[in-house]
């Protein structure tokens, strides 16, 4: 196989992908390696929501009942508030497994930010390829961090989202429901309302969000395959992830697309979204990603790689297709973008010999 992929036709270009609606984008507009694994919330309540328990929820376990009473929040987020003692019924703290009864008034906090830290609006350029009242879809460049954390207090997508739309301060993580590594490029979806946020979190948990990546890996692959191996923290190197028995379930499907010298461009489809999942899984089966500073470092054959591959400054990973069900309309949407320019140039250099 040879050649490199570009933007396919409307979503029908992918066999089996729904094509009710699509948005294709290359570079004409103005500016997920892993889901957010938990809804970590702030212990500080900014706005309290108060609703009465209806008879239809009588006798239900509290966390299940509140998931119905407050559908704009994910159940995991409600559970985390309850564990922190922030949810009350008639002034008394409500525990996860106790039953609820009609007539009681439940008070639910809404924290200012799910990470418990002040995230300030900043004029960070964002490449938006789709926007309506419910969703934003972004094309994230390599090098841009998704949200603040250790070593990255600002200049992130979350800062940029709050600058672009101050109303996103009312949505967890400014609407971010999944993330890409700093040096992974590609498509991300952002929820603009609490209801959309909760719906997209449920879709991610139900594995109905379709995320496809292009990755350039070392070596040849004989055909399509699946890596079904749990991913968790490396037992001795805590800054790395690894395939470990105690890890969380992780499934990656891969299909070879094109051969470029000693490397293969593969399409990877995620069922789960663990941290560094594609990078870990491909390294686990002996095909590390070109440019990966963590999982390809020290590969026995790396010294023999062509100069263009050894000089590539990031992991060769690009989220090129994203599909989901629109939280408001129920329509099946698919977006697809071209291969990132630096990765396309790398393939051209490898083909040129």
Catalytic residues: 181
CB atoms closer than 10 angstroms to residue 319 = 25
Positive or negative CA dihedral for 288, 289, 293, 299?
A: positive
Burial 261-300 (b: 16+ CB within 10 A, else e): eebbbbbbbbbbbbbbbbbbbbbbbebbbbbbebbbeebe
Which tokens sit at 286? Answer: 């002996």
353: number of CA atoms within 13 Å, CB side? Answer: 0
**CA separation for the pair 138, 337 (Å, rounded):** 11
**CA separation for the pair 114, 178 (Å, rounded):** 14
DSSP, collapsed to helix, strand or coil, labels residue 19 as coil
Residues 6+ away with beta carbon under 8 Å from 203: 209, 324, 325
Which tokens sit at 146? Answer: 């998704």
**Placement of tokens 């292009």 in the chain:** 214
**CA separation for the pair 30, 353 (Å, rounded):** 35
């Amino acid at each position: 196989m040879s050649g490199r992929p570009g933007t396919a036709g409307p979503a029908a270009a992918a066999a089996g992908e729904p094509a009710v609606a699509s948005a294709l984008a290359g570079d004409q507009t103005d500016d997920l390696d892993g889901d957010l694994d938990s809804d970590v919330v702030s212990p500080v309540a900014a706005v309290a929501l108060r609703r009465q328990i209806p008879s239809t929820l009588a006798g239900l376990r509290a966390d299940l009942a509140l998931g119905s009473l407050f559908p704009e929040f994910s159940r995991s987020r409600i559970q985390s508030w309850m564990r922190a003692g922030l949810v009350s019924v008639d002034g008394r703290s409500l525990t996860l497994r106790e039953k609820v009864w009609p007539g009681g008034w439940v008070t639910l906090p809404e924290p200012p930010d799910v990470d418990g830290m002040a995230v300030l609006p900043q004029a960070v350029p964002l490449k938006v390829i789709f926007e309506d009242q419910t969703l934003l879809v972004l094309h994230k460049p390599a090098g841009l961090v998704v949200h603040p954390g250790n070593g990255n207090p600002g200049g992130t997508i979350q800062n940029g989202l709050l600058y672009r739309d101050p109303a996103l301060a009312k949505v967890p993580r400014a609407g971010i429901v999944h993330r890409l590594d700093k040096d992974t490029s590609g498509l991300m979806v952002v929820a603009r309302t609490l209801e959309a946020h909760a719906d997209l979190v449920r879709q991610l948990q139900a594995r109905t969000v379709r995320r496809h990546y292009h990755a350039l890996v070392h070596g040849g692959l004989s055909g399509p395959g699946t890596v079904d191996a749990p991913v968790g923290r490396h037992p001795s190197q805590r800054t790395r992830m690894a395939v470990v028995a105690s890890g969380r379930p992780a499934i990656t499907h891969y299909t070879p697309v094109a051969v470029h010298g000693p490397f293969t461009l593969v399409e990877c489809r995620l069922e789960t979204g663990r941290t560094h999942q594609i990078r870990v899984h491909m390294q686990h089966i002996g095909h590390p990603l070109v440019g990966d500073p963590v999982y390809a470092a020290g590969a026995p054959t790396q010294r023999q790689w062509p100069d263009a591959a050894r000089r590539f400054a990031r992991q060769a990973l690009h989220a090129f297709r994203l599909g989901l069900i629109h939280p408001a309309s129920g329509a099946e949407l698919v977006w697809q973008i071209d291969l990132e320019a630096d990765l396309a140039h790398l393939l051209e250099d490898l083909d040129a010999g």
